[in-house]
Structure 1
Protein backbone atom coordinates (compact mmCIF):
# COMPACT_ATOMS: atom_id res chain seq x y z
CA UNK A 1 0.00 0.00 0.00
CA UNK A 2 1.30 3.45 -0.94
CA UNK A 3 2.85 5.32 1.94
CA UNK A 4 1.18 8.69 1.24
CA UNK A 5 -2.21 10.40 1.38
CA UNK A 6 -4.32 12.47 -0.99
CA UNK A 7 -3.20 15.48 1.03
CA UNK A 8 0.40 14.65 0.10
CA UNK A 9 -0.54 14.52 -3.58
CA UNK A 10 -2.34 17.85 -3.32
CA UNK A 11 0.52 19.50 -1.45
CA UNK A 12 3.09 18.32 -3.98
CA UNK A 13 0.98 19.43 -6.91
CA UNK A 14 0.59 22.89 -5.38
CA UNK A 15 4.33 23.04 -4.72
CA UNK A 16 5.44 22.06 -8.24
CA UNK A 17 2.42 22.67 -10.44
CA UNK A 18 2.62 19.12 -11.82
CA UNK A 19 -0.21 16.95 -13.11
CA UNK A 20 -2.21 14.59 -10.90
CA UNK A 21 -1.05 11.37 -12.55
CA UNK A 22 2.64 12.33 -12.68
CA UNK A 23 2.56 13.48 -9.05
CA UNK A 24 0.89 10.32 -7.81
CA UNK A 25 3.26 8.09 -9.78
CA UNK A 26 6.28 9.92 -8.40
CA UNK A 27 5.04 9.43 -4.84
CA UNK A 28 4.46 5.76 -5.51
CA UNK A 29 8.00 5.41 -6.88
CA UNK A 30 9.37 7.35 -3.91
CA UNK A 31 7.35 5.25 -1.44
CA UNK A 32 5.76 8.40 -0.07
CA UNK A 33 9.02 10.34 0.41
CA UNK A 34 8.07 13.88 -0.61
CA UNK A 35 11.59 15.14 -1.29
CA UNK A 36 12.48 12.05 -3.30
CA UNK A 37 9.28 12.51 -5.30
CA UNK A 38 10.31 16.09 -6.01
CA UNK A 39 13.65 14.83 -7.34
CA UNK A 40 11.93 12.21 -9.50
CA UNK A 41 9.59 14.77 -10.99
CA UNK A 42 12.43 17.24 -11.67
CA UNK A 43 14.57 14.58 -13.35
CA UNK A 44 11.65 13.42 -15.43
CA UNK A 45 10.91 16.99 -16.40
CA UNK A 46 14.53 17.74 -17.27
CA UNK A 47 14.55 14.82 -19.70
CA UNK A 48 11.32 16.13 -21.17
CA UNK A 49 12.82 19.60 -21.75
CA UNK A 50 14.89 18.30 -24.66
CA UNK A 51 11.84 16.68 -26.22
CA UNK A 52 9.94 19.96 -25.89
CA UNK A 53 12.67 22.06 -27.51
CA UNK A 54 10.92 22.28 -30.89
CA UNK A 55 7.46 23.01 -29.53
CA UNK A 56 5.93 26.42 -30.17
CA UNK A 57 5.31 28.88 -27.35
CA UNK A 58 2.44 31.12 -28.40
CA UNK A 59 1.09 31.85 -24.91
CA UNK A 60 2.62 33.60 -21.92
CA UNK A 61 2.76 37.03 -20.33
CA UNK A 62 4.59 40.33 -20.22
CA UNK A 63 6.05 41.82 -17.04
CA UNK A 64 7.93 44.99 -16.16
CA UNK A 65 10.20 46.28 -13.42
CA UNK A 66 11.42 49.83 -12.87
CA UNK A 67 14.79 50.81 -11.46
CA UNK A 68 16.10 54.29 -10.79
CA UNK A 69 17.01 55.06 -14.39
CA UNK A 70 15.35 52.41 -16.55
CA UNK A 71 12.40 50.07 -17.01
CA UNK A 72 12.89 46.46 -18.08
CA UNK A 73 10.15 44.71 -20.06
CA UNK A 74 10.11 40.97 -20.67
CA UNK A 75 8.01 38.44 -22.55
CA UNK A 76 7.96 35.03 -20.87
CA UNK A 77 6.42 32.44 -23.17
CA UNK A 78 4.85 29.02 -22.64
CA UNK A 79 2.80 26.55 -24.66
CA UNK A 80 -0.71 26.89 -23.23
CA UNK A 81 -2.91 29.52 -21.63
CA UNK A 82 -3.46 27.05 -18.77
CA UNK A 83 0.19 27.48 -17.76
CA UNK A 84 0.18 31.21 -18.60
CA UNK A 85 -2.32 31.85 -15.81
CA UNK A 86 -0.70 29.37 -13.40
CA UNK A 87 0.45 31.08 -10.20
CA UNK A 88 3.86 29.45 -10.41
CA UNK A 89 4.42 30.70 -13.95
CA UNK A 90 3.40 34.22 -12.94
CA UNK A 91 5.67 34.03 -9.88
CA UNK A 92 8.53 32.87 -12.14
CA UNK A 93 8.05 35.93 -14.36
CA UNK A 94 8.02 38.21 -11.32
CA UNK A 95 11.22 36.64 -10.00
CA UNK A 96 12.96 36.97 -13.37
CA UNK A 97 12.02 40.58 -13.95
CA UNK A 98 12.98 41.52 -10.38
CA UNK A 99 16.41 39.93 -10.91
CA UNK A 100 16.85 42.00 -14.07
CA UNK A 101 15.96 45.32 -12.43
CA UNK A 102 19.50 46.50 -11.74
CA UNK A 103 21.36 44.04 -13.96
CA UNK A 104 21.58 46.27 -17.02
CA UNK A 105 20.64 43.29 -19.22
CA UNK A 106 19.32 44.43 -22.59
CA UNK A 107 19.25 41.12 -24.48
CA UNK A 108 17.87 37.66 -23.85
CA UNK A 109 21.35 36.14 -23.67
CA UNK A 110 22.48 38.69 -21.09
CA UNK A 111 19.28 38.19 -19.08
CA UNK A 112 19.63 34.40 -19.02
CA UNK A 113 23.06 34.79 -17.42
CA UNK A 114 21.84 37.05 -14.59
CA UNK A 115 22.17 35.54 -11.11
CA UNK A 116 19.03 34.72 -9.11
CA UNK A 117 18.54 32.56 -6.01
CA UNK A 118 21.99 31.01 -6.26
CA UNK A 119 21.55 30.05 -9.90
CA UNK A 120 20.93 31.89 -13.18
CA UNK A 121 17.76 33.05 -14.86
CA UNK A 122 18.34 30.50 -17.63
CA UNK A 123 18.76 27.60 -15.20
CA UNK A 124 15.73 28.74 -13.21
CA UNK A 125 13.60 28.68 -16.37
CA UNK A 126 14.83 25.19 -17.27
CA UNK A 127 14.08 23.97 -13.76
CA UNK A 128 10.56 25.38 -13.82
CA UNK A 129 9.92 23.99 -17.30
CA UNK A 130 10.93 20.58 -16.00
CA UNK A 131 8.51 20.71 -13.09
CA UNK A 132 5.62 22.38 -14.91
CA UNK A 133 6.02 20.08 -17.91
CA UNK A 134 5.86 22.66 -20.69
CA UNK A 135 8.41 24.49 -22.77
CA UNK A 136 9.11 27.89 -21.21
CA UNK A 137 11.32 30.52 -22.77
CA UNK A 138 12.35 34.08 -22.16
CA UNK A 139 11.51 35.31 -25.64
CA UNK A 140 12.27 39.04 -25.46
CA UNK A 141 13.89 41.59 -23.18
CA UNK A 142 13.99 45.37 -23.53
CA UNK A 143 15.59 47.89 -21.22
CA UNK A 144 14.41 51.47 -21.75
CA UNK A 145 16.49 54.15 -20.04
CA UNK A 146 15.08 57.59 -19.38
CA UNK A 147 14.06 60.32 -17.00
CA UNK A 148 10.38 59.45 -16.51
CA UNK A 149 8.30 56.47 -17.58
CA UNK A 150 4.76 55.57 -18.51
CA UNK A 151 3.93 51.86 -18.31
CA UNK A 152 0.80 50.24 -19.70
CA UNK A 153 -0.06 46.56 -19.37
CA UNK A 154 -3.08 45.23 -21.24
CA UNK A 155 -5.00 42.01 -20.68
CA UNK A 156 -6.45 40.55 -23.87
CA UNK A 157 -8.56 38.27 -21.66
CA UNK A 158 -9.69 38.86 -18.09
CA UNK A 159 -8.67 35.30 -17.24
CA UNK A 160 -5.07 35.76 -18.34
CA UNK A 161 -2.14 37.87 -17.12
CA UNK A 162 -1.12 40.91 -19.23
CA UNK A 163 -0.23 39.98 -22.80
CA UNK A 164 0.63 43.41 -24.17
CA UNK A 165 3.18 45.59 -22.43
CA UNK A 166 4.33 49.10 -23.30
CA UNK A 167 7.03 51.26 -21.74
CA UNK A 168 7.48 54.90 -22.74
CA UNK A 169 10.43 57.00 -21.58
CA UNK A 170 9.76 60.72 -21.69
CA UNK A 171 10.55 64.17 -20.39
CA UNK A 172 7.89 66.62 -19.27
CA UNK A 173 5.23 66.76 -16.58
CA UNK A 174 1.95 65.63 -18.17
CA UNK A 175 1.65 62.15 -16.67
CA UNK A 176 -1.87 61.55 -18.00
CA UNK A 177 -0.94 62.30 -21.61
CA UNK A 178 2.20 60.18 -21.31
CA UNK A 179 0.06 57.24 -20.20
CA UNK A 180 -2.37 57.84 -23.06
CA UNK A 181 0.57 57.65 -25.50
CA UNK A 182 1.53 54.29 -23.96
CA UNK A 183 -2.05 53.12 -24.52
CA UNK A 184 -1.90 54.40 -28.10
CA UNK A 185 1.28 52.40 -28.72
CA UNK A 186 -0.36 49.24 -27.40
CA UNK A 187 -3.03 49.65 -30.10
CA UNK A 188 -1.11 51.19 -33.02
CA UNK A 189 2.11 49.14 -32.74
CA UNK A 190 4.67 51.60 -34.15
CA UNK A 191 8.16 50.29 -34.89
CA UNK A 192 10.12 53.55 -34.77
CA UNK A 193 9.90 56.84 -32.90
CA UNK A 194 10.18 59.29 -35.82
CA UNK A 195 10.34 58.89 -39.57
CA UNK A 196 14.02 59.81 -39.47
CA UNK A 197 14.58 56.64 -37.42
CA UNK A 198 13.31 54.36 -40.19
CA UNK A 199 16.32 52.70 -41.87
CA UNK A 200 17.06 54.36 -45.26
CA UNK A 201 17.08 50.95 -46.94
CA UNK A 202 13.50 50.36 -45.77
CA UNK A 203 12.42 53.78 -47.03
CA UNK A 204 14.07 53.19 -50.40
CA UNK A 205 12.42 49.79 -50.71
CA UNK A 206 9.00 51.22 -49.86
CA UNK A 207 9.53 54.05 -52.35
CA UNK A 208 10.39 51.52 -55.06
CA UNK A 209 7.29 49.44 -54.31
CA UNK A 210 4.81 52.34 -54.24
CA UNK A 211 6.32 53.80 -57.40
CA UNK A 212 5.88 50.46 -59.19
CA UNK A 213 2.30 50.16 -57.91
CA UNK A 214 1.54 53.71 -59.07
CA UNK A 215 2.95 53.01 -62.55
CA UNK A 216 0.95 49.78 -62.84
CA UNK A 217 -2.17 51.73 -61.89
CA UNK A 218 -1.52 53.97 -64.90
CA UNK A 219 -0.84 57.15 -62.93
CA UNK A 220 0.47 60.05 -65.05
CA UNK A 221 4.26 60.19 -65.16
CA UNK A 222 4.31 63.86 -64.18
CA UNK A 223 2.24 63.16 -61.09
CA UNK A 224 4.30 60.20 -59.90
CA UNK A 225 6.68 62.07 -57.55
CA UNK A 226 3.80 63.63 -55.62
CA UNK A 227 1.84 60.37 -55.52
CA UNK A 228 4.87 58.40 -54.32
CA UNK A 229 5.60 60.91 -51.55
CA UNK A 230 1.97 60.77 -50.47
CA UNK A 231 2.09 57.00 -50.24
CA UNK A 232 5.38 57.18 -48.37
CA UNK A 233 3.61 59.44 -45.88
CA UNK A 234 1.05 56.68 -45.31
CA UNK A 235 3.92 54.23 -44.77
CA UNK A 236 5.46 56.51 -42.13
CA UNK A 237 2.08 56.73 -40.38
CA UNK A 238 2.16 52.95 -40.03
CA UNK A 239 5.67 52.58 -38.63
CA UNK A 240 6.66 55.88 -36.95
CA UNK A 241 5.01 56.87 -33.66
CA UNK A 242 5.26 60.64 -34.09
CA UNK A 243 3.62 60.45 -37.54
CA UNK A 244 0.67 58.31 -36.46
CA UNK A 245 -2.86 59.59 -36.04
CA UNK A 246 -3.57 59.80 -32.33
CA UNK A 247 -5.89 56.98 -31.21
CA UNK A 248 -8.06 59.32 -29.11
CA UNK A 249 -8.38 61.99 -31.84
CA UNK A 250 -7.40 61.02 -35.37
CA UNK A 251 -7.39 64.67 -36.44
CA UNK A 252 -4.13 65.05 -34.48
CA UNK A 253 -0.82 63.29 -34.86
CA UNK A 254 0.94 61.84 -31.86
CA UNK A 255 3.74 64.34 -32.47
CA UNK A 256 1.25 67.23 -32.19
CA UNK A 257 -0.29 65.81 -29.01
CA UNK A 258 3.13 65.47 -27.41
CA UNK A 259 4.16 68.99 -28.41
CA UNK A 260 0.94 70.49 -27.02
CA UNK A 261 1.49 68.60 -23.73
CA UNK A 262 5.11 69.68 -23.45
CA UNK A 263 6.31 66.09 -23.65
CA UNK A 264 9.21 64.52 -25.50
CA UNK A 265 9.35 60.77 -25.96
CA UNK A 266 12.94 59.56 -25.72
CA UNK A 267 12.29 55.85 -26.23
CA UNK A 268 9.67 53.13 -26.09
CA UNK A 269 9.15 49.38 -26.28
CA UNK A 270 6.06 47.27 -27.00
CA UNK A 271 5.74 43.51 -26.56
CA UNK A 272 2.73 41.38 -27.43
CA UNK A 273 2.78 37.74 -26.46
CA UNK A 274 3.25 35.53 -29.48
CA UNK A 275 3.67 38.42 -31.92
Structure 2
Protein backbone atom coordinates (compact mmCIF):
# COMPACT_ATOMS: atom_id res chain seq x y z
CA UNK A 1 0.00 0.00 0.00
CA UNK A 2 1.45 3.37 -1.06
CA UNK A 3 2.43 5.93 1.55
CA UNK A 4 0.85 9.35 1.18
CA UNK A 5 1.86 12.79 2.40
CA UNK A 6 -0.22 15.00 4.67
CA UNK A 7 -0.26 17.58 1.88
CA UNK A 8 -1.99 15.06 -0.39
CA UNK A 9 -4.46 14.15 2.35
CA UNK A 10 -5.27 17.81 2.93
CA UNK A 11 -5.74 18.40 -0.79
CA UNK A 12 -8.16 15.47 -1.08
CA UNK A 13 -10.07 16.69 1.99
CA UNK A 14 -10.41 20.14 0.41
CA UNK A 15 -11.69 18.56 -2.81
CA UNK A 16 -14.21 16.23 -1.17
CA UNK A 17 -14.89 17.52 2.38
CA UNK A 18 -14.42 13.95 3.60
CA UNK A 19 -12.73 13.18 6.94
CA UNK A 20 -8.94 13.22 7.24
CA UNK A 21 -8.61 9.50 8.03
CA UNK A 22 -11.04 8.58 5.24
CA UNK A 23 -8.96 10.65 2.80
CA UNK A 24 -5.72 9.04 3.97
CA UNK A 25 -7.13 5.51 3.61
CA UNK A 26 -8.64 6.28 0.18
CA UNK A 27 -5.32 7.65 -1.12
CA UNK A 28 -3.45 4.66 0.22
CA UNK A 29 -5.91 2.26 -1.40
CA UNK A 30 -5.73 4.23 -4.68
CA UNK A 31 -1.92 4.28 -4.50
CA UNK A 32 -1.88 8.06 -4.73
CA UNK A 33 -4.33 8.38 -7.66
CA UNK A 34 -6.62 11.31 -6.76
CA UNK A 35 -9.43 10.46 -9.20
CA UNK A 36 -9.54 6.87 -7.97
CA UNK A 37 -9.42 8.08 -4.35
CA UNK A 38 -12.43 10.30 -4.98
CA UNK A 39 -14.35 7.33 -6.42
CA UNK A 40 -13.42 5.24 -3.37
CA UNK A 41 -14.75 7.96 -1.06
CA UNK A 42 -17.99 8.19 -3.07
CA UNK A 43 -18.58 4.45 -2.81
CA UNK A 44 -17.79 4.45 0.90
CA UNK A 45 -20.09 7.44 1.41
CA UNK A 46 -22.99 5.76 -0.36
CA UNK A 47 -22.62 2.67 1.84
CA UNK A 48 -22.57 4.80 4.99
CA UNK A 49 -25.63 6.97 4.24
CA UNK A 50 -27.96 4.82 6.37
CA UNK A 51 -25.55 4.80 9.29
CA UNK A 52 -25.74 8.60 9.52
CA UNK A 53 -29.51 8.82 10.00
CA UNK A 54 -29.21 9.00 13.80
CA UNK A 55 -26.38 11.53 13.82
CA UNK A 56 -26.97 15.17 14.71
CA UNK A 57 -26.88 17.76 11.94
CA UNK A 58 -26.65 21.04 13.81
CA UNK A 59 -24.44 23.06 11.47
CA UNK A 60 -25.40 24.32 8.05
CA UNK A 61 -26.73 27.44 6.42
CA UNK A 62 -29.81 29.52 5.68
CA UNK A 63 -30.60 30.40 2.06
CA UNK A 64 -33.22 32.70 0.52
CA UNK A 65 -34.73 33.04 -2.94
CA UNK A 66 -37.02 35.71 -4.37
CA UNK A 67 -39.26 35.66 -7.39
CA UNK A 68 -40.17 39.30 -7.81
CA UNK A 69 -41.19 41.30 -4.74
CA UNK A 70 -44.15 39.17 -3.65
CA UNK A 71 -42.82 35.61 -3.46
CA UNK A 72 -39.84 34.38 -1.44
CA UNK A 73 -38.58 31.25 0.29
CA UNK A 74 -36.26 30.70 3.23
CA UNK A 75 -34.50 27.35 3.74
CA UNK A 76 -32.44 25.85 6.55
CA UNK A 77 -30.16 23.09 5.26
CA UNK A 78 -28.19 21.23 7.92
CA UNK A 79 -24.96 19.25 8.05
CA UNK A 80 -22.71 18.04 10.87
CA UNK A 81 -19.67 20.33 10.65
CA UNK A 82 -18.86 23.88 9.61
CA UNK A 83 -16.24 22.43 7.25
CA UNK A 84 -19.00 20.92 5.10
CA UNK A 85 -21.23 23.99 5.59
CA UNK A 86 -18.70 26.15 3.76
CA UNK A 87 -18.05 23.61 0.99
CA UNK A 88 -19.08 24.54 -2.53
CA UNK A 89 -21.13 21.40 -3.07
CA UNK A 90 -23.22 21.92 0.07
CA UNK A 91 -23.92 25.55 -0.81
CA UNK A 92 -24.83 24.64 -4.39
CA UNK A 93 -27.31 22.07 -3.07
CA UNK A 94 -28.93 24.71 -0.85
CA UNK A 95 -29.25 27.11 -3.78
CA UNK A 96 -30.86 24.47 -5.99
CA UNK A 97 -33.33 23.39 -3.31
CA UNK A 98 -34.44 26.91 -2.38
CA UNK A 99 -34.92 27.70 -6.10
CA UNK A 100 -37.03 24.54 -6.36
CA UNK A 101 -39.15 25.60 -3.37
CA UNK A 102 -40.03 28.89 -5.07
CA UNK A 103 -40.79 27.11 -8.34
CA UNK A 104 -42.96 24.31 -6.92
CA UNK A 105 -44.35 25.73 -3.63
CA UNK A 106 -44.39 22.45 -1.66
CA UNK A 107 -46.69 22.23 1.36
CA UNK A 108 -44.16 20.79 3.80
CA UNK A 109 -40.76 19.10 4.10
CA UNK A 110 -42.00 15.55 3.25
CA UNK A 111 -43.67 16.90 0.10
CA UNK A 112 -40.47 18.75 -0.81
CA UNK A 113 -38.31 15.66 -0.29
CA UNK A 114 -40.58 13.57 -2.52
CA UNK A 115 -40.74 16.17 -5.31
CA UNK A 116 -38.70 15.80 -8.48
CA UNK A 117 -35.74 18.04 -9.24
CA UNK A 118 -33.78 17.43 -12.45
CA UNK A 119 -34.97 13.84 -12.81
CA UNK A 120 -34.43 12.79 -9.19
CA UNK A 121 -36.29 13.38 -5.96
CA UNK A 122 -34.93 16.03 -3.62
CA UNK A 123 -34.30 13.22 -1.11
CA UNK A 124 -32.09 11.47 -3.67
CA UNK A 125 -30.11 14.65 -4.19
CA UNK A 126 -29.60 14.90 -0.42
CA UNK A 127 -28.48 11.27 -0.21
CA UNK A 128 -25.96 11.79 -3.03
CA UNK A 129 -24.51 14.82 -1.25
CA UNK A 130 -24.51 12.86 2.00
CA UNK A 131 -22.51 10.13 0.30
CA UNK A 132 -20.08 12.53 -1.35
CA UNK A 133 -19.39 14.67 1.72
CA UNK A 134 -19.55 11.93 4.34
CA UNK A 135 -21.99 13.73 6.62
CA UNK A 136 -25.68 13.65 7.43
CA UNK A 137 -27.36 16.28 5.23
CA UNK A 138 -30.97 17.22 5.94
CA UNK A 139 -33.57 19.85 5.22
CA UNK A 140 -34.70 21.01 8.62
CA UNK A 141 -37.37 23.50 7.59
CA UNK A 142 -38.44 26.04 5.02
CA UNK A 143 -40.87 28.92 4.76
CA UNK A 144 -42.65 30.32 1.72
CA UNK A 145 -44.30 33.74 1.84
CA UNK A 146 -46.45 35.03 -1.00
CA UNK A 147 -48.28 38.31 -1.50
CA UNK A 148 -47.64 41.92 -0.56
CA UNK A 149 -44.01 43.03 -0.52
CA UNK A 150 -41.36 40.66 0.83
CA UNK A 151 -37.86 41.53 2.04
CA UNK A 152 -35.17 39.01 2.93
CA UNK A 153 -32.03 39.40 5.00
CA UNK A 154 -29.20 36.91 5.55
CA UNK A 155 -26.60 37.38 8.28
CA UNK A 156 -23.21 35.72 8.73
CA UNK A 157 -22.31 35.11 12.36
CA UNK A 158 -18.83 34.07 11.17
CA UNK A 159 -17.29 35.72 8.08
CA UNK A 160 -15.68 32.40 7.08
CA UNK A 161 -19.03 30.56 7.00
CA UNK A 162 -22.25 30.88 4.99
CA UNK A 163 -25.22 32.77 6.50
CA UNK A 164 -26.48 31.25 9.75
CA UNK A 165 -29.42 33.64 10.31
CA UNK A 166 -32.11 34.34 7.74
CA UNK A 167 -35.25 36.47 7.80
CA UNK A 168 -38.26 37.08 5.55
CA UNK A 169 -40.55 40.04 6.30
CA UNK A 170 -43.85 40.51 4.49
CA UNK A 171 -45.36 44.01 4.24
CA UNK A 172 -48.73 44.88 2.74
CA UNK A 173 -47.16 47.32 0.26
CA UNK A 174 -43.69 48.15 -1.11
CA UNK A 175 -41.25 50.00 1.12
CA UNK A 176 -37.68 48.81 0.63
CA UNK A 177 -36.12 50.78 3.48
CA UNK A 178 -38.68 49.83 6.13
CA UNK A 179 -38.62 46.22 4.95
CA UNK A 180 -34.84 46.16 5.28
CA UNK A 181 -34.91 47.86 8.70
CA UNK A 182 -37.48 45.43 10.11
CA UNK A 183 -35.72 42.40 8.62
CA UNK A 184 -32.38 43.41 10.18
CA UNK A 185 -34.12 44.14 13.49
CA UNK A 186 -35.77 40.71 13.38
CA UNK A 187 -32.42 39.01 12.74
CA UNK A 188 -30.89 40.77 15.76
CA UNK A 189 -33.77 40.61 18.25
CA UNK A 190 -35.21 37.14 17.51
CA UNK A 191 -38.95 37.69 18.07
CA UNK A 192 -41.01 34.52 18.34
CA UNK A 193 -44.39 35.87 17.24
CA UNK A 194 -45.68 38.75 15.14
CA UNK A 195 -48.05 40.29 17.71
CA UNK A 196 -49.68 39.46 21.06
CA UNK A 197 -52.86 38.24 19.38
CA UNK A 198 -50.85 35.64 17.46
CA UNK A 199 -49.30 34.03 20.54
CA UNK A 200 -50.95 30.61 21.09
CA UNK A 201 -53.29 30.49 24.08
CA UNK A 202 -51.34 27.64 25.70
CA UNK A 203 -48.14 29.70 25.58
CA UNK A 204 -49.87 32.66 27.22
CA UNK A 205 -51.30 30.47 29.97
CA UNK A 206 -47.91 28.89 30.62
CA UNK A 207 -46.22 32.28 30.94
CA UNK A 208 -49.06 33.64 33.09
CA UNK A 209 -48.66 30.64 35.43
CA UNK A 210 -44.91 31.23 35.72
CA UNK A 211 -45.42 34.92 36.49
CA UNK A 212 -48.12 34.15 39.04
CA UNK A 213 -45.88 31.71 40.90
CA UNK A 214 -42.98 34.15 40.74
CA UNK A 215 -45.14 36.96 42.14
CA UNK A 216 -46.45 34.83 45.01
CA UNK A 217 -42.94 33.73 45.94
CA UNK A 218 -41.97 37.39 46.13
CA UNK A 219 -44.62 37.82 48.84
CA UNK A 220 -46.80 40.31 46.97
CA UNK A 221 -50.30 40.97 48.35
CA UNK A 222 -52.86 38.51 46.97
CA UNK A 223 -55.12 41.30 45.71
CA UNK A 224 -52.25 42.82 43.69
CA UNK A 225 -51.14 39.59 42.01
CA UNK A 226 -53.45 39.68 38.93
CA UNK A 227 -52.38 43.22 38.01
CA UNK A 228 -48.69 42.42 38.53
CA UNK A 229 -48.99 39.26 36.42
CA UNK A 230 -50.65 41.15 33.56
CA UNK A 231 -47.90 43.77 33.71
CA UNK A 232 -45.24 41.09 33.47
CA UNK A 233 -47.10 39.47 30.58
CA UNK A 234 -47.04 42.79 28.71
CA UNK A 235 -43.31 42.91 29.32
CA UNK A 236 -43.03 39.42 27.83
CA UNK A 237 -44.88 40.64 24.73
CA UNK A 238 -42.35 43.48 24.43
CA UNK A 239 -39.55 40.92 24.45
CA UNK A 240 -40.96 38.25 22.17
CA UNK A 241 -43.51 39.77 19.75
CA UNK A 242 -42.09 41.69 16.80
CA UNK A 243 -44.59 44.53 16.70
CA UNK A 244 -44.21 45.28 20.44
CA UNK A 245 -40.39 45.17 20.46
CA UNK A 246 -38.43 48.40 20.82
CA UNK A 247 -36.74 49.21 17.51
CA UNK A 248 -32.99 48.60 17.66
CA UNK A 249 -32.28 51.92 15.90
CA UNK A 250 -34.50 53.97 18.23
CA UNK A 251 -35.71 52.29 21.42
CA UNK A 252 -38.32 55.03 21.95
CA UNK A 253 -40.31 53.51 19.10
CA UNK A 254 -41.84 50.07 18.72
CA UNK A 255 -41.74 48.20 15.43
CA UNK A 256 -45.50 48.74 15.25
CA UNK A 257 -44.91 52.51 15.36
CA UNK A 258 -42.13 52.32 12.77
CA UNK A 259 -44.49 50.53 10.38
CA UNK A 260 -47.42 52.87 11.08
CA UNK A 261 -45.29 55.98 10.52
CA UNK A 262 -44.23 54.56 7.16
CA UNK A 263 -47.82 53.77 6.21
CA UNK A 264 -47.27 50.02 5.95
CA UNK A 265 -48.48 46.95 7.81
CA UNK A 266 -46.31 43.98 8.76
CA UNK A 267 -48.25 40.88 7.69
CA UNK A 268 -45.83 38.09 8.60
CA UNK A 269 -42.21 37.18 9.20
CA UNK A 270 -39.98 34.12 9.36
CA UNK A 271 -36.67 33.95 11.21
CA UNK A 272 -34.30 30.99 11.19
CA UNK A 273 -31.02 30.55 12.98
CA UNK A 274 -29.11 27.40 12.14
CA UNK A 275 -29.47 24.75 14.85
CA UNK A 276 -31.96 26.72 16.96
CA UNK A 277 -35.75 26.32 17.38
The DSSP-based 3-state class of the residue aligned with 1:101 is: helix
Counterpart for residue 263 of structure 2: 262
In the alignment, structure 2 segments of 5+ residues that lack a partner are 3-7
RMSD of aligned residue pairs (Cα, Å)? 2.5
1:188-199 maps to which residues of 2 (within 5 A)? 188-199=189-200
2:156 is the alignment partner of 1:125: no
Counterpart for residue 82 of structure 2: 81
The DSSP-based 3-state class of the residue aligned with 2:55 is: coil
The DSSP-based 3-state class of the residue aligned with 1:167 is: strand
Q: Indicate how the Cα distance of structure 1 residues 14 and 211 shifts in structure 2: closer, same or farther if over 3 A, else same.
A: closer
Counterpart for residue 59 of structure 2: 59
Counterpart for residue 47 of structure 2: 47
The DSSP-based 3-state class of the residue aligned with 1:142 is: strand
Question: How far off is 1:146 after superposition?
Answer: 2.2
Deviates more, 1:119-128 or 1:202-211: 202-211
2:24 is the alignment partner of 1:21: yes
Provide the TM-score with structure 1 as the length reference: 0.88
The DSSP-based 3-state class of the residue aligned with 2:197 is: helix
Counterpart for residue 247 of structure 2: 246
2:156 is the alignment partner of 1:145: no
Question: How far off is 1:72 after superposition?
Answer: 1.0
In the alignment, structure 1 segments of 5+ residues that lack a partner are 3-7
2:229 is the alignment partner of 1:228: yes
The DSSP-based 3-state class of the residue aligned with 1:102 is: helix
Question: How far off is 1:266 after superposition?
Answer: 1.2
- The one-character-per-residue Cα deviations of 1:126-158 (angstroms, maximum 9, x if unpaired) are 111101111111111111122211111000011
Question: How far off is 1:40 after superposition?
Answer: 4.2
Q: Judge conservation of contact 2:165–2:274 (CA < 8 Å) in 1.
A: yes
Question: How far off is 1:44 after superposition?
Answer: 1.4
Question: How far off is 1:173 after superposition?
Answer: 3.5
Question: How far off is 1:218 after superposition?
Answer: 1.1
Counterpart for residue 112 of structure 2: 111
Provide the TM-score with structure 2 as the length reference: 0.87
Counterpart for residue 272 of structure 2: 271
